[in-house]
Structure formats: C-alpha cells, structure tokens
C-alpha cells in the first residue's frame, strides 16, 4: 500500500506577492507498507501546488492507454528525471516522487511509484537511482483515484497565480471506452527492501507527538531540581528530543551513548535526509540555574561545563572517526557520517533565567562554537508547534 496526500503548505505565511515560489510548496505525507512487512513514512515538501493536477491528469491518461511505458531496465534510472523525459517518467520539480507505466494488460495496468530523496526508505539508501514499487490497477479505478487526489488537493489552491500544469501525453495510442469503477487503494504487487537502519531500536516517528507527551514532560520539568529526572523521562519518551530535527528519512535518539572508555553523552540524536545523516550530541544541565552569565559577562560554571563536554566529545570523534562511523555489526558505534564537526546542543535552565542580553550572548556562542544552547521550555515549544501543525492538517 502507498498512501500519498498533501498535508500543509510548507510556508503557510508566505506572501505570494513577494515569495510566489515559496507560497506554493506543499508538504506531502506518505506512508508505505510492503508485502514483506516493511513499513515507512515520510513528510516533505515534494510538490508545488500548481503541479498537483499533473498526477490526476496523468492517471486519467494512463486509463486511456495514452502514456508510453517505461521499458524494463530503466526503472531506477535517475538520469531520466534529470533530463526531464516526461514521455516515459512523470516527474516534478523536486525528485522525491515520480511515476511510470510498466505494462498495459487487458483489464489492468502495471504502474510504478518511484521514490527518491526524502521519500525513499532509509534502509534502501545504498541502492542507486530510484527506489520503485510496481502496482497492478484496474483501468476503471484510475479515474476514481484521480478524482480522490483532486479532492485531497482542494484545500491547497495555487497561491502564486501561476497556471495549473496538466499532463499532455506524447503517445496517442488506444483510447478505448473505460467504465468508471469504485476507488481502489494501491496494492503492492512486489518490492523488497534491504535492512539499512543503523539503530532500528532507537528510531522515533516524530509525528506521533501527543498532548499527553507534552503535559507529562511539563509535570516532570516543574518538579525537577536537577537534570537526572529529565534524563530518565526523555529516555522513556524520546519523541520530545526530535521535534526540531529535519529529515524525512528517519530520526533516532540514542541515550547514554558510550564514546570509548572516557566519555558518555547524555544523548546523540540524528536525522537523515537526501544528503545523509545529521547527528547532534546533547548535553543536559540542571533546569535550576540562577544565571547563565556572571555579572562580568563570563559563562556560568554549569554553562561552561556543558560546552566543555561537547568539545571533549568532538575531540574524541576527531581521533576515532572510523570507529564511530563503522556499523555495530563490525564492532563500531553505528554513527555514519558523524565527525568532529558534529552539531552540539546544551539544554539548560528555564526561560525565566535569561533576558535579552543573555539571548544575544547565546547567539554569539552558537556562532563561535556551533553549539545551540536552549532552555527546557524550548523542548515544550517545539513539541507544541509540531502538534499545532498536525492539528491543522
């Protein structure tokens, strides 16, 4: 099964008068389940609003047998997309999604859904070109699927004033009569995936955030006088730690990760996008901090400790990068792409501990050391922002 649907504008507040291109980007939510039990989801700006009619018009033309099939052997060919050969491959501005016809039959057609970049399953990232899935669909059902797609896109009209784009086939083959039937869910005909998730036990699906997750964390935070209960809570409820990450291929939270015999990080969190893995080392400090900076403008002792920890971890990674990158199956840490330039995050104190001057100093520290410094209330705000976005869909 493949479920694709527009969920939100990527930039809902974009002004079409000054940012017409940004105003039309749509987040597409996808969920894929295969016959072998594999399952993944993605959420990424895959289409522009004026591109959505291309898919429905393409489905209708396939039902009329007016779309040329893409020959076997070219199903994964990324070069077809780059050269814009839409006679054989329906593609869009972003390379996440593409569609093609594999073969016409008497009562049904086999089409392929091609997935790349953020839409591709993370464990299939080593395969070249597109990852694709074939489906056998009755001709009659294609019209109903096209109508359903159009209905799902109605809440997201073109805001830029551009004309909608529709599919115009180069092939004008048999356009025999087709009887409209009931809508059908895409049913997977075949498709296998390779296991490539570096930490399957630590994967976190970030869109499953709930109000109870936020409320429970608030309660622990209100009573906490040190970072220890917050560490314990976040280990059990890691979804709070990944809301600020970007990457549609997956997100991971690794608690208490041992770095050799010397160091142990509070958390290492990561996300994956089309460019690879992006890791962040996280240091928790106490939520109870009188001041982040002294009267002379120096870092407080707790803030200095947090920054020093991340610098120590980076030095260790500089000396042990190969071991850190190696998969666990080869006695490594299973942190592909990580190096001594890894992002740093210190979570310390509460919003009430800082003023405008502190905010300016924190921005400077982030610039100087590539270490973001946030309060525990920031985790709450990020989670609330995500939940608000999901409720609007």
pLDDT, tens digit (0-9, with 9 covering 90-100), for 23-55: 999 999 988 877 667 788 889 899 999 999 999
Q: How far is CA 358 from CA 225, 295, 355, 366, in A?
A: 22, 11, 5, 12
Q: What is the mean pLDDT of the chain?
A: 82
pLDDT at 77 over 60: no
Q: What is the pLDDT of residue 120?
A: 76
pLDDT at 227 over 70: yes
The residue with greater pLDDT, 275 or 104, is 104
As a dihedral over the C-alpha atoms of residue 270, residue 246, residue 365, residue 253, rounded to 10 degrees, the angle is -20
Walk across the sheet containing 131-138 and list its strands.
Answer: 90-91, 97-104, 108-115, 131-138
Q: What is the pLDDT of residue 185?
A: 30
As a dihedral over the C-alpha atoms of residue 341, residue 346, residue 352, residue 354, rounded to 10 degrees, the angle is -40
pLDDT at 86 over 80: no
Residues 260, 275: Cα–Cα separation, whole Å: 27
Give the lowest-confidence range in 63-67, 110-114, 163-167, 191-195.
Answer: 191-195
Pairing label, strands 343-347, 371-374: parallel
Q: What is the pLDDT of residue 194?
A: 30
Q: What is the pLDDT of residue 271?
A: 85
176: tokens are 């025999």
Give the CA count within 13 Å in the CB-facing half-sphere of 275: 6
Q: What is the mean pLDDT of residues 132-161?
A: 88
Is residue 51 within 8 Å of 93, Cβ to Cβ?
Answer: yes
Q: What is the CATH number of domain 200-392?
A: 3.40.91
Task: Locate the domains of the chain by residue range.
Answer: 2-153, 200-392
Is residue 29 within 8 Å of 41, Cβ to Cβ?
Answer: yes
Q: What is the pLDDT of residue 176?
A: 36
Radius of gyration for the chain, computed over Cα atoms and rounded to the nearest angstrom: 24
pLDDT, tens digit (0-9, with 9 covering 90-100), for 348-379: 999 987 888 888 889 898 888 899 999 999 99
Letter string b/e over residues 38-54, b meaning 16 or more CB atoms within 10 A of that residue's CB: bebbbbbbbbbbbbbbb
pTM value is 0.55
pLDDT at 135 over 50: yes
Q: What is the pLDDT of residue 180?
A: 25
Phi and psi angles of residue 81, each rounded to the nearest 5 degrees, phi first: -65, -45
pLDDT at 164 over 90: no
């Amino acid at each position: 099964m493949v479920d694709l649907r527009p969920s939100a504008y990527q930039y809902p507040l974009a002004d079409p008068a000054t940012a017409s291109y940004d105003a039309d980007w749509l987040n597409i939510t996808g969920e894929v389940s295969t016959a072998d039990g594999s399952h993944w989801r993605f959420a990424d700006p895959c289409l522009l609003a004026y591109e959505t009619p291309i898919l429905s018009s393409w489905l209708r033309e396939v039902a009329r047998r007016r779309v040329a099939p893409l020959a076997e052997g070219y199903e994964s060919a990324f070069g077809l997309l780059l050269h814009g050969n839409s006679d054989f491959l329906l593609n869009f501005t972003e390379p996440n999604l593409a569609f093609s016809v594999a073969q016409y039959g008497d009562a049904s057609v086999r089409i392929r859904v091609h997935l790349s970049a953020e839409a591709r399953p993370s464990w299939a990232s080593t395969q070249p070109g597109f990852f694709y899935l074939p489906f056998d669909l009755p001709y009659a059902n294609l019209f109903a699927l096209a109508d359903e797609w159009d209905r799902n896109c109605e809440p997201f009209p073109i805001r830029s004033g551009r004309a909608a784009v529709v599919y115009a086939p180069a092939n004008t083959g048999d356009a025999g009569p087709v009887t409209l039937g009931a809508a059908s869910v895409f049913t997977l005909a075949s498709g296998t995936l390779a296991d490539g998730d570096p930490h399957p036990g630590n994967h976190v699906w970030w869109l499953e955030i709930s109000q109870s997750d936020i409320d429970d964390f608030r309660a622990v935070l209100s009573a906490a006088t040190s970072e220890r209960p917050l560490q314990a809570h976040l280990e059990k409820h890691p979804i709070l730690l990944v809301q600020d990450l970007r990457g549609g291929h997956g997100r991971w939270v690794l608690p208490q990760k041992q770095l050799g015999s010397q160091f142990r990080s509070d958390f290492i969190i990561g996300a994956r996008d089309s460019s690879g893995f992006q890791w962040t080392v996280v240091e928790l400090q106490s939520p109870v901090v009188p001041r982040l900076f002294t009267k002379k403008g120096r870092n407080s002792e707790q803030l200095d400790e947090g920054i020093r920890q991340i610098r120590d971890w980076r030095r260790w990674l500089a000396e042990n990068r190969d071991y850190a990158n190696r998969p666990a199956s080869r006695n490594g840490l299973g942190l592909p792409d990580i190096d001594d330039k890894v992002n740093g995050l210190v979570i310390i104190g509460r919003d009430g501990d800082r003023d405008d001057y502190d905010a300016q100093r924190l921005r400077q520290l982030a610039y100087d050391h590539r270490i973001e410094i946030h309060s525990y209330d920031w985790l709450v705000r990020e989670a609330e922002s995500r939940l608000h976005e999901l409720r609007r869909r």
